[in-house]
């Protein structure tokens, strides 16, 4: 049996694309892992004003290496971990509560066409 879902394609290095795949529990778990936020993810967030920003979750020693890298120890990264595509996320920050929507998750540096 096959089902349609959003799934990470290793062969094309696309982050998320619609594919049909075997619905075995192992395959479903792999797919769910690529739909949720973990360490090394590039996550695009939309704020309440409709502005999108992309961040990469990295180790604390990598934060200064590139713009839009955030430490896994930050309030934002901690609030995003284990959330899924299209989730609304409320983050408690030192400046107050912020609301975001996860509009993209990927685990590659760039998406190939």
Which CATH number covers residue 70?
3.10.50.30
Residue 112 included in any domain: no
Average pLDDT over residues 4-12: 37
Residue 50 included in any domain: yes
pLDDT in tens, 53-87: 999 999 999 998 788 999 999 999 999 999 999 99
Spell out the SS3 assignment of 7-20.
Answer: EEECCCCEEEEEEE
Task: Using pLDDT thresholds of 50, 70 and 90, give the confidence band for residue 23.
Answer: low
According to the model, what pLDDT value does residue 110 have? 62
Q: Structurally, how many domains does the chain consist of?
A: 1
Print the domain residue range for 94.
2-106
Pick the range with the lowest mean pLDDT from 2-6, 34-38, 53-57, 88-92.
2-6
pLDDT over 90 at 111, yes or no: no
Cα–chain-centroid distance for residue 25?
22
**Mean model confidence pLDDT for the chain:** 77
**What token pair was written down for 63?**
């934060």
Residue 93 included in any domain: yes
């Amino acid at each position: 049996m096959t089902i349609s879902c959003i799934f990470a394609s290793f062969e094309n290095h696309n982050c998320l694309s619609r594919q049909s795949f075997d619905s075995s529990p192992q395959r479903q778990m792999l797919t769910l892992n690529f739909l949720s936020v973990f360490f090394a993810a590039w996550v695009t967030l939309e704020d309440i004003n409709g502005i999108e920003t992309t961040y990469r979750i990295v180790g604390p020693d990598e934060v200064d290496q590139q713009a839009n890298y955030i430490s896994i120890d930050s309030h934002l990264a901690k609030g995003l971990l284990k959330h899924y595509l299209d989730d609304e996320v409320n983050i408690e920050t030192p400046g107050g509560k912020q609301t975001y929507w996860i509009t993209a998750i990927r685990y590659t540096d760039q998406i190939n066409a």
